[in-house]
Structures are given as C-alpha cells and as structure tokens.
C-alpha cells in the first residue's frame, strides 16, 4: 500500500484556533521578560495584521515547497535512469509495490540500499518467502532428543496413586511424523491397577509380579528408524521396553506380551 501526500489548502485559512494560538504566543513573550513587558508589547502587532501577513507568505511558501520537492524528484529520477534498462525496470516495478511512502527521499534511500547491497531487488525483505518444513531429527543420541512429550494421562486406576501413566510423544526421524504412546503393562495378566479395599493389604501386592513398558508407534517409519526407536527407548528405561507398530483394527487380549 502506498501512502499519499494529502493536498494542502490552496489558500491560507484564517481560523479561531490560529488566532488564539498567536495571542498565547504574544502573552508568553511578555511573561518571559516581565521587566520589559511594555517594550515587548509595543513591538507586537495585532492578530489581524498577523493573519494578513501569513496569507501573503502562504503562496510563496507553497511555491518554494513544491519547487524543492520537484528538484528532489528530478535528482532521484536521474539516479534511477542512470542504471541499465533491465535493472531500472526491476526497480520501478519494485517501487510500485513496496511499502514506502511515495516520496523522493524514500525512493533515493531505496536506490542507496540496493546500491550497497542491503536490499536485493529480486528478493525484497518485505516479501515473506519462508517455506514451512517439518522438524527432523535424523541422528538423535537420546530418546528425549528424538521425541517430545505432548500428552500425559492416568489410566487403569481409581485414584492417581494406584493408576499408571500413559505418555504421548511426537517426532520425525526423516520419513514422516511419528506419534508414540507409552504405557506400563503388568507381567501378570490377572493383576490389575485397581484392587478393592476388602482384598487390599497396604497396596503392596498390586503389581507385585512386576511390570514392563509398551510403546506403540503410529506413522510411517523405516525398519532402521524402528530399530533406532527400540534402542533409544530401552536405553532410557531400566525396565523391559517393548516397541510395536500400530496396526489399525488389530486388538490384543489383556495381558498379551511379546
């Protein structure tokens, strides 16, 4: 979007605000020299005379401003046309779509930035060209480096104290986005994380046969990446870790182990 310069009035406008501002200015001049207030006041003229003087100067000031602006335009256009035709056409097209105001000083600054190499006319900085790409960790050293935990919930228990944790991880080893779900499994199929109070002895027998960790991998990954996941997961945990691929529609029986 180009910013336009609003046209100035064709003649000087005499308004009450301008008259009041001029009277305040004269009052401050008298207050700044209280011992010579009478002398300062004798050298001041009335507000009507000031408005008439401003109206007379208005046309000349307008002509001077337009002449100075036109001279700046001629100077910067001369710099532009001193370039070779192909580069000049590129810069002209760039100037039409750039976010700078339509002012000769901004065009001169654009030419300077291009000349010193700070702006590439073929790749201007105000054009966003970032390409979105997946975050890939091709050679992770640890499981935490390869996957980031994105979810956690309690399962298999009536309270948080006797429930197991299920974690959700995500990462990309190169073949695509992978979603991993890890949870604790009991070694004894007949055991449960929930035990009624009538059959509970200080909760010490819940899971007393031990447990292991199961990780379900969802997403496309090669055999080498799958083997890397197994190695990293087992290196992270002291318990036995079983890594499986997710097969939609296939349900395992409770307590089924590898």
pLDDT in tens, 128-173: 776 666 678 888 999 999 999 998 887 765 555 555 678 999 999 9
pTM, two decimals, is 0.45
Three-state DSSP state, 215: strand
Q: Contact at 8 Å (CB) between 193 and 164? A: yes
Q: Which of 121, 223, 92, 203 is nearest to 157 (CA)?
A: 203
| Model confidence at 124: pLDDT above 60 | yes
Instruction: List Cβ neighbours of 94 (8 Å cut-off, separation of 6 or more).
Output: 110, 121, 124
Q: What are phi and psi of 148, to 5 degrees?
A: -115, 135
| Confidence (pLDDT) at 90 | 93
Confidence band of 1 (pLDDT split at 50, 70, 90):
very low
DSSP assignment of 138-197: SS-SSHHHH-EEEEEEEES-SSGGG-EEEEEEEEESSSSEEEEEEEEEESSTT--S---G
């Amino acid at each position: 979007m180009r910013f336009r310069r609003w046209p100035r009035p064709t003649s000087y406008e005499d308004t009450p605000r301008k008259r009041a501002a001029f009277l305040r200015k004269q009052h401050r001049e008298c207050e700044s020299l209280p011992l010579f207030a009478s002398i300062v006041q004798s050298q001041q003229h009335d507000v009507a005379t000031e408005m008439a003087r401003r109206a007379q100067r208005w046309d000349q000031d307008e002509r001077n401003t337009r002449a100075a602006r036109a001279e700046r335009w001629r100077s910067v256009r001369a710099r532009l046309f001193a370039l070779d035709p192909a580069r000049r056409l590129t810069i002209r097209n760039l100037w039409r779509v750039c976010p700078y105001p339509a002012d000769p000083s901004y065009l001169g600054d654009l030419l300077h930035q291009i000349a010193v190499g700070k702006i590439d006319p073929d790749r201007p900085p105000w054009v966003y060209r970032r390409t979105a790409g997946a975050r890939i960790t091709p050679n992770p050293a640890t499981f935490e480096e390869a996957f980031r935990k994105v979810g956690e919930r309690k399962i298999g228990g009536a309270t948080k104290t006797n429930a197991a944790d299920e974690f959700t991880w995500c990462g990309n080893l190169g073949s695509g986005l992978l979603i991993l779900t890890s949870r604790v499994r009991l070694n004894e199929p007949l055991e449960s994380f929930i035990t009624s109070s009538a059959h509970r002895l200080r909760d010490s027998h819940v899971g007393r046969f031990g447990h292991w960790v199961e990780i379900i991998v969802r997403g496309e990954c090669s055999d080498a990446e799958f083997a890397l996941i197994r190695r990293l997961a087992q290196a992270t945990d002291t318990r036995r870790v079983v890594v499986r691929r997710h097969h939609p529609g296939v349900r395992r029986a409770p307590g089924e182990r590898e």
